[in-house]
Structure formats: structure tokens, C-alpha cells
Structure 1
Amino acid sequence: MGADPRSEMNVPQSTRRAMRRGRGRQTRTFRSTTNALEGLSLAGARVAVHVTDLDRGEVVLAGDDHLPLPIGGLGVVPLLIETAARIEDGSLDPHALAERAETDALAPTGLWRAMAAPTLPIVDLAVLAAAAGDAAATNALLDRVGHESVTRRIVELGMPRSALLDGFRSERGPDDAPYIALGTAREFAALFSALAGGTAVAPAVSERVVGWLSPVTDVGLVGAAIGGDPFSHEPDGHGLVHFAKTGRERGVRADAGVLAGRRGAFAYALIVAFDDLSLLHRHRVHSAFHALGGDLLEYAT
């Protein structure tokens, strides 16, 4: 059989090869991003950003990247890493079935709720949680793996200011955690750098998680600049490697990932907490993510 045409999107080693192809030094100002984020800050939004040049190992853009902010579903990434680690060490059967009924009442949205199958294997839940942000799948994974295990994993990953606080809920009462997760742009950019380099726990764990994250279906934030087809997971023919995870909840937008091309490779994280008072407020926030995507695309390709 021939090589899987999706392999460059799924394997950290291939990601690293893509990062080494024909790079030239260039001035990287991220001016569009900086202008957009300054505008959001002046309007009262809380903004945190961190971008690392993976070729040079240099931070090329940072602002309040130490500040813990709500990050929505972006906080699921450590859960995915813990799931992959358990699969790799044999303590979790990837084909074990999980029941949707156990978590469906809490999960507000997701593809699994629209599917006929009441049970799915762990590996399929991981894909739904990673690529589609499926709430019921995430809750089922969290129930199976355990919140304490994920918390320990976050500590081991060197993320002292980040935390997965809860699963998804249709409503949050006074006894519930106020957010799904908190995190800093610096820690999540570093986490994605580790995934790209194969050092998040172990190469096999990193490879599995990158594979789950690579079918990026939420292209409304940073991924909008790429203009790819979210329903096709084949290489786009332009030499790009992109894997990412987004987070969305009321007044929160977050996006972290890796974008690599022929001239550059970057790990990035952008988090914005804002007053979601109108569609115009939301549009301005999304425009800032689009600006970051455009800058990254310019310097990577």
C-alpha cells in the first residue's frame, strides 16, 4: 500500500520535517495582529497572546501570556493527552465502549447527540472531542479518565496556571465551576510546541493526540486565514501543516495550535475574554483571530 496522504498532518516527525523545508530569515512584525489586539484591549477585552518561532526557538509575539483566562474547550487538550497516555501504557482500552446516556443530559451541543449510536469506543470519542469539540464526547472521556488524573497530568506537563475545572454543562449553577477551564497563552503555546516536537509525555502519545487534532473543523478563528476545506482532511497542496484546538463559550474565544509551512513554523495561542454584548463585539474579536492567522500564514509560506 502507498503512504497515507494524510500522514504529514498526523505525525509529529513529519511535522518537524515540514518545518525544516527551505526557510529564509524575514522580518516578523505581526503588525496586523498587534493593532487588532490593542483595539480589543482599549475596548475593555482581556487579551493574552503568545507565538513562538519553532525554527529559532524564539518568542516572536507575547502579551499578558502569563494571565490565566477562561478558555472553553481549549482546556480539553490535557484530557486528550491523558487519554492517549493511558492508551499507550495499556491502562485504557481504546476500543472500550462509553455510554452517551451517562453524559447527554449535561452536554449542551455536539455531533454525538445527533447520532443514532448510543455507545462509541474511546478512540472515536477522542476524535469527536478533539476535532469537533463535541460536548457529550468530552464529558464521557472525562468520566472514564477521571478529573484527578487530568489534573495530575496538567501538573506533569508544566502548566501550573492552567486547569480543567469541569465538563460541559447546559447551565452552570452556583455550585458548579464558573468555567470549563482556565489557561494561559504561554502554557498552551508551549504545549502545542511539545506536541509538534513529540515531547508531550512521549512521541507515541504526541503522535496520537496530533492525529486527533489534525482534522481541524473549527476554522472560524485563526484557521479562517488558511481558507481550507474543514470537511476534507487531505493535504491542501500548499505545503501547510496545521493542527489546533479552539475554545468557545459566552464571552470567550481561544485558539492554540501549530502552523508550519515552507518558510516558517509557529506554535501560537490567543485567548480573548470580552463582553459579548452584540454581534459587532463578537465580530471584532473574531477579526483579531483572523489577523493572527493572516500574519502566521504570511510568515510561514
Structure 2
Amino acid sequence: MPESIRRRARSEREEIAPRGRRSEADGDGVIFRKGFASLTELALSGVQVTACAVDTASGKVLFSVDDHLSVPTASIGKVLLLIEVAARISARDGSGSAPGAVPPVPGSAAGETGPRTVRPAPGAEALSILNRTAQDSVGDSGLWQHLQVPALPVSDLAALIGATSDNLATNVLLRRIGLDAVRARAESLGLRRTLLLDIVRDIRGPDDAPQLSVGSARELATLFRALERGEVVDETTSRLVTGWLSLGSDLSMVGGAFGLDPFAHTGPDHGIRLFNKTGTDVGIRSEAGVVVGPRAGVAYAVTMRFNDVDLPARLGVLEAMRTLGTDFLEYVY
């Protein structure tokens, strides 16, 4: 192959590579090298990558790839609904009276003495009973569609969303809360590129929003850092949301690198604590979360858009996300 053609091919590959940056050193050398290389390889194969990682203590951006872009994030937008629900519980039931979990001390190992999960007596708003209707019905993720109980308290529906990204619970809560209220809350938090656009639908028609939610990696990472620091609306609201998200059972993406029990990681395990929210759709894998270890904490958001034509394509995306998770683990542990 002539050298001019080689140079042109190299130039084309560089043009489609992710426009990212990473912190060059943290005292031990270059960080996030494996993750950045893995994402670059995916981008060169045609995968759209957006990502951002922020130190939870300093707010310093550690890693970013096209983090300003607003892209489809599947179920991650449900976090905005949980924030609005938590804010209403906090406001109506009074600070400290809403059910939630106080996160353990960052870096404490499983079994060590420290703050334990606390669930105060639930208030009236948290125990308001909501019925499901035929109009709320939807398939895919979640447990409630498989249960016989026709009605559940608001706080239980929020827990189902945090644990299993429950679509039916999402639609029932949205019928109670309203999309306009969720959008107003997002705007009040300074979110401009991160939105919950619609209810969950089995089929999206021409008159429906084309996606359930969209978001930018920078805004999502910043939002999750604020949740960790108790700064979203207020401390009680933040702790309610992180308590629900700590129930999340999907560790198939970035969270798969942390070695945690998918069904039981509400407290620290070997000094690692995690809360996260994932989003899955055809050709989309997305995750935002916070992982805290003995040395540091990272708030992160990663979204991959890819041609989901075969299993190897999907497995390559998931492997790259776990590789990035391994880099996060090395930073915090």
C-alpha cells in the first residue's frame, strides 16, 4: 500500500476517534489508560462513545470523551423522576421522617463499625398508595408486572425503579407526578442536556418522543457527584435517591468491574461502595454512578451507541465498559 494511502487512512481514523482527555497522573502514573484505549478502539469501529469521570471530593474532571453531547440514555432518565419523588417526600413528610438509607463512611470495609442503614418511620407521602391501570402496562424491565399486588406505596415504587428499573412503576409514578414536574425539577438543577422525555412505551409511534431519555455525560457525572455529596435539593432528598439506587441489580456494565454482589451492595464491601443507574435499549448501553473506595471516589457516566447486529458487537461494548470500570477501581482503591 502506498505511503500516501496509509497516511490518509491514519488521518481518517484519527478524525473519528473520540475527542477526549484524561488526567495525566495521580501520583502513581497515568490513569485510565486501559479504559481510554478500549473506548478509542470502539470509536474507530463506529461506536459513538460519550463519557465523563469526576473526582467526588474535588470535582476535577478525570476523564472525558465528547461529554457535552446529549445522546439517548434509555432508562437513566428515570433518576430525574426519583429526584422529584424524593423531593416531594422530603418536603411533605419533613426532614428526617422519610424512609431512606444513610450511606456508610466512604472507604469503610464490610463488617467494620460505622453508620448502619437507617429507615425512619415513613411519612404520609411515602406511604401514599398508587394503583396500576391498564394504561400503565408495559413490558421489559421490572418486577411489578410479574406480581399479583395491584397497588403499592410511592416509596416502594421508587425502590422498584432503583432496584430493577421497573417500567410499570415508572409509568404509575409519572401518572402521579407528571412529566412537566420532572422537567421543571431538572431545569432547577441546572440540567440542560439531560431530560426524561416520555413515559415508557412498548412501541414508539411517530407522535411519541423518539427516546425515553437523553443526557450528556458531563451533566450526569456532575449530578451523581451532587447526589453523593447530599447537594441535590437537600440532604434528605439526596439520601433517599442514593438509597434507592444502591438497590440496583444491574452490574453488567461499568459496575461489573467492582466485584460486588448484584443483589446486595447497599453497604461497603471490601471498602467499595456503589450506587448507579443503567440504561439499556437496542444499540444503547448507558450507565451513571458513583463508586467510592478507601482512597477516593469517582462519579461517572458512560454511554455507548452501536450497531447491535450481532452478539460480538454487544459483547465488545460491555467489555469496554467493564475495562473503564477497572480503571475507576484502581483510582479509588
TM-score if structure 1 supplies the norm length? 0.89
- Partner residue of 1:52 out of 51, 54, 57: 54
Segments of 5+ residues of structure 2 without an aligned counterpart are 1-25, 94-123
Q: Which letter does structure 1 place at the counterpart of 2:291?
A: L
Aligned to 1:279: 311
Q: Which letter does structure 2 place at the counterpart of 1:130?
A: G
Q: How does 1:259-270 map to 2 (within 5 A)?
A: 259-270=291-302
Distance in 2 (CA, whole Å) between partners of 1:195 and 1:80 is 12
Distance in 2 (CA, whole Å) between partners of 1:109 and 1:237 is 27
Distance in 2 (CA, whole Å) between partners of 1:85 and 1:218 is 25
- Partner residue of 1:79 out of 73, 78, 81: 81
**CA RMSD between the two structures:** 1.6
Aligned to 1:43: 45
Aligned to 1:117: 149
**Are 1:108 and 1:168, in contact at CA under 8 Å, matched by a contact in 2?**
no
**Are 2:52 and 2:221, in contact at CA under 8 Å, matched by a contact in 1?**
yes
Distance in 2 (CA, whole Å) between partners of 1:52 and 1:28 is 16
The structure with more radius of gyration: 2
Q: How does 1:11-30 map to 2 (within 5 A)?
A: 25-30=27-32
- Partner residue of 1:211 out of 214, 218, 243: 243
Residue correspondences, number:
278
- Partner residue of 2:289 out of 257, 262, 279: 257
Deviation at 1:56, TM superposition (A): 3.1
Aligned to 2:193: 161
Deviation at 1:265, TM superposition (A): 0.8
**Are 1:264 and 1:300, in contact at CA under 8 Å, matched by a contact in 2?**
yes
Secondary structure at the counterpart of residue 241 of structure 2: helix
Aligned to 2:98: none
**Percent pairwise identity:** 42
Query: In 2 relative to 1, CA 198–270 (structure 1 residues): closer, same or farther, beyond 3 Å?
Result: same
Query: In 2 relative to 1, CA 28–155 (structure 1 residues): closer, same or farther, beyond 3 Å?
Result: farther
Distance in 2 (CA, whole Å) between partners of 1:131 and 1:25 is 37
Aligned to 1:229: 261
Distance in 2 (CA, whole Å) between partners of 1:26 and 1:53 is 16
Deviation at 1:101, TM superposition (A): 2.2
Aligned to 1:129: 161
Deviation at 1:154, TM superposition (A): 0.8
- Partner residue of 1:177 out of 186, 209, 216: 209
Deviation at 1:234, TM superposition (A): 5.3
Secondary structure at the counterpart of residue 27 of structure 1: coil
Secondary structure at the counterpart of residue 178 of structure 1: coil
Distance in 2 (CA, whole Å) between partners of 1:216 and 1:206 is 16
Aligned to 2:66: 64
Deviation at 1:155, TM superposition (A): 0.5
**Are 2:87 and 2:233, in contact at CA under 8 Å, matched by a contact in 1?**
yes
Q: Give deviations 1:156-178, integer Å, cap 9, x for gaps.
A: 11111111111211111111111
Distance in 2 (CA, whole Å) between partners of 1:58 and 1:27 is 17
Distance in 2 (CA, whole Å) between partners of 1:168 and 1:113 is 13
Distance in 2 (CA, whole Å) between partners of 1:38 and 1:271 is 14
Segments of 5+ residues of structure 1 without an aligned counterpart are 1-23
Distance in 2 (CA, whole Å) between partners of 1:25 and 1:85 is 40
Distance in 2 (CA, whole Å) between partners of 1:234 and 1:148 is 31
Q: Which structure would you say has the larger RCO, counting Cα contacts within 8 Å and 6 or more residues apart? A: 1
